[in-house]
Chains A and B, each alone.
Chain A
Amino acid sequence: MKRSKYDLAVGLFVAFGLMSLVFLALKVGNLAGYDSGDGYRIEARFDNIGGLKVRAAVKSAGVVVGRVEAIVLDPETYEAKTVLRLDPRYRFSKDTIASILTSGLLGEQYVNLEVGGDSVYLGNGDRVVKTQPAMILEKLIGQFLYNKAAENTGSK
């Protein structure tokens, strides 16, 4: 077929469109499998993860050091098993405490790593033993009310 002068421009146009669709699918939407970037993975089990989501930040002293890669429920212990992918520049001791905190009052939840004093470092596939579950506001309020009631009956 004879090439017209419009062919190149329209080809470019369609290619741009497809590129932006790919951008929408992978970078904006959640179609991406996962960008298997570098870093090592550690495992942490929580009693309750609250509103933690996959791809949430992992921070230490407020600095982002990794991302939450997977969250699954352990069918035997009924704990939430999370896989954290950490930046290889940072090493954490074996007795690191992982806890789930919230940034701000209504902000997103993230995993905080509190470094301990052990001289052995966590490596790929290791498990964080000490964890603190997410705070559930309803539970806290319930506990508070319960304590208050117990206090009142005790003083009388």
Chain B
Amino acid sequence: MNRLLEPLADLGHVVLSALARLGLVGRFFLGILAVLWLPIRRFSLLVREVYFSGFRSLLIVTVSGLFVGMVLAVQGYEVLQRFGSAESLGVLVALSLVRELGPVVTALLFAGRAGSATTAEIGLMQATDQIAAMDMMAVNPMARIIAPRFLAAVVSVPILACLFISAGIFGSYLVGVQLIGIDEGAFWSQMQASVDFRLDVINGLIKAVVFGVAIGLISVFEGYYAPPTAEGVSSATTRTVVVSSLAVLMLDFVLTVWMFRGLS
């Protein structure tokens, strides 16, 4: 081939393989959706996965939430008191947690804590031919292994996000009201006056569900198609965290523009 055309061919190859991978993800997703009834009917499968990815993330999520809320309170107070409106601290903390930080940080933590573990687990199953063996025994690995883990992420992320937000608001209450001494009534009443349940809380939860779908899909996909080597599983795990984090942040931008465009 012509030397000059070589870089162009490289570019084409990159684009084509990216598209092929995207198509693979899409087909994989449809494959999961087709067998999603199994973890719902055999509930114990789902419960086990929710335990490992959701319940075991409880500590990291609530502690992170607590500290994020406390830091927000300290920094927010610093700025707000210059304008003599330190009572608005509750509004600042609650809105930023409910709308953005809660779902996003929870999703990032979840991708690091549970998504990577899922990828490594499935990748190792694939590398040791456990999934192939399951297929041989006429057990559908998609329904038995993949779907419950995917669904567990979709279920866990919103619950964890709720806990993260609550812990964050509690942390800001501790710092703002108990430590700094903002009026407790104003803290809560201004918060209640400006946080709308449908507009803010429900939209935040919708975000969390979408992030759960993204992380669940990416982590099981990377594990399922991980090269069956130690190196392959390790790079698949890394890719899960990187791709999930980027996907969460990009999706967050899209969802924010879509949800809060008409606002403020």
List residues of chain A with CB under 8 Å of any chain B CB: 1-2, 4, 6-7, 9-10, 12-14, 16-17, 20-21, 23-25, 27-32, 53-57, 64, 67, 103-108
Say which residue of B43, B50, B85, B193 sits within 8 Å of A104 (CB atoms).
B85
Give the number of residue pairs across the A-B interface with Cβ within 8 Å. Answer: 106
Q: Does B37 contact A (CB under 8 A)?
A: no
Secondary structure dominating the interface of B = helix
What are the residues of chain B within 8 A of A57 when measuring CB–CB?
183, 185-186, 189
B85/A55 in contact, CB under 8 A: no
What are the residues of chain A within 8 A of B48 when measuring CB–CB?
4, 6
Say which residue of B44, B55, B190, B192 sits within 8 Å of A12 (CB atoms).
B55
Q: Does B58 contact A (CB under 8 A)?
A: yes
What are the residues of chain B within 8 A of A106 when measuring CB–CB?
83-85
A24/B193 in contact, CB under 8 A: no
Q: How far is the CA of A58 from the CA of B94 in the complex (A)?
A: 24
Q: How far is the CA of A30 from the CA of B192 in the complex (A)?
A: 5
Q: How far is the CA of A12 from the CA of B185 in the complex (A)?
A: 31
A30/B87 in contact, CB under 8 A: no
- Minimum CB–CB distance for A103 against chain B, Å: 8
Measured CB to CB, the nearest residue on chain B to A4 is: B44
Say which residue of B88, B183, B193, B196 sits within 8 Å of A54 (CB atoms).
B193
A104/B98 in contact, CB under 8 A: no
Give how many B residues have a beta carbon under 8 Å from the other chain's beta carbons. Answer: 40
Q: How far is the CA of A106 from the CA of B190 in the complex (A)?
A: 14
Of the A-B pairs whose beta carbons lie under 8 Å apart in the complex, a sample of 12, sorted by A's number, is A1-B44, A2-B44, A10-B50, A13-B159, A17-B162, A20-B163, A20-B166, A23-B166, A24-B165, A29-B197, A30-B192, A104-B84
Q: How far is the CA of A30 from the CA of B189 in the complex (A)?
A: 9
What are the residues of chain A within 8 A of B249 when measuring CB–CB?
none
Q: How far is the CA of A104 from the CA of B86 in the complex (A)?
A: 10
- Minimum CB–CB distance for A151 against chain B, Å: 32
- Minimum CB–CB distance for A105 against chain B, Å: 6
Most chain B C-beta atoms within 10 Å of own C-beta, residue among A10, A24, A105, A107: A24
- Would you list which residues of chain B between 186 and 222 have a CB under 8 Å from chain A? 186, 188-193, 195-197, 200-201, 205
B55/A9 in contact, CB under 8 A: yes
